Amino acid sequence: MKPARVGRRGFTLVETLVALVLFQLGMLALVATAGVAARDLAEAVARRRAQGIAAAHAEMLRAAACRGAQSGSAKLTAGMVESWRVEAVGAGRSVTDSIDVPLPRGRRAAVVARTWTVCAL
């Protein structure tokens, strides 16, 4: 007569393999999420850098805007292209500075800074 098993100890091979497969799927999902987060962070950094450049240049143009209307463009670092415009609007000037920013996966975005000033008569 065989003695009765009181309780089993440990895991079976099948249970262990299923647990390992589930763990691997979770790790793959985590790695994919980290990749998306890194790409989104790079995009946000590029947009923020362009916004800072556009705002600073728009303020410089605003300071000199009353001297007359002007426009132009320039190539910046990291593949960015800037264009600006100062236009007469009544007794003031409207200043627009836009930067074309390259983004991950070959996309591009435009960042625009606008301001205006009143010129003394």
* pLDDT at position 1 over 80: no
Sign of CA dihedral 77, 110, 62, 64: positive
Q: What is the mean pLDDT of residues 95-110?
A: 93
> Do 103 and 43 form a contact (C-beta atoms < 8 A)?
yes
Q: What is the pLDDT of residue 52?
A: 95
* pLDDT at position 8 over 80: no
Convert the pLDDT of each residue in 12-70 to its tens digit: 999 999 999 999 999 999 999 999 999 999 999 999 999 999 999 999 999 888 888 78
The DSSP symbol for 10 reads S
* pLDDT at position 4 over 60: no
Could you tell me which residues come within 8 angstroms of residue 65 by beta carbon, excluding any fewer than 6 positions away?
A: 86, 93, 95, 117, 119
Strand-by-strand arrangement of the 92-102 sheet: 70-75, 81-89, 92-102, 108-118
* pLDDT at position 100 over 60: yes
Q: What is the pLDDT of residue 5?
A: 61
Q: What is the pLDDT of residue 28?
A: 96
* pLDDT at position 83 over 80: yes
* End-to-end C-alpha distance for the chain, whole angstroms: 114
Averaged pLDDT of the chain: 90
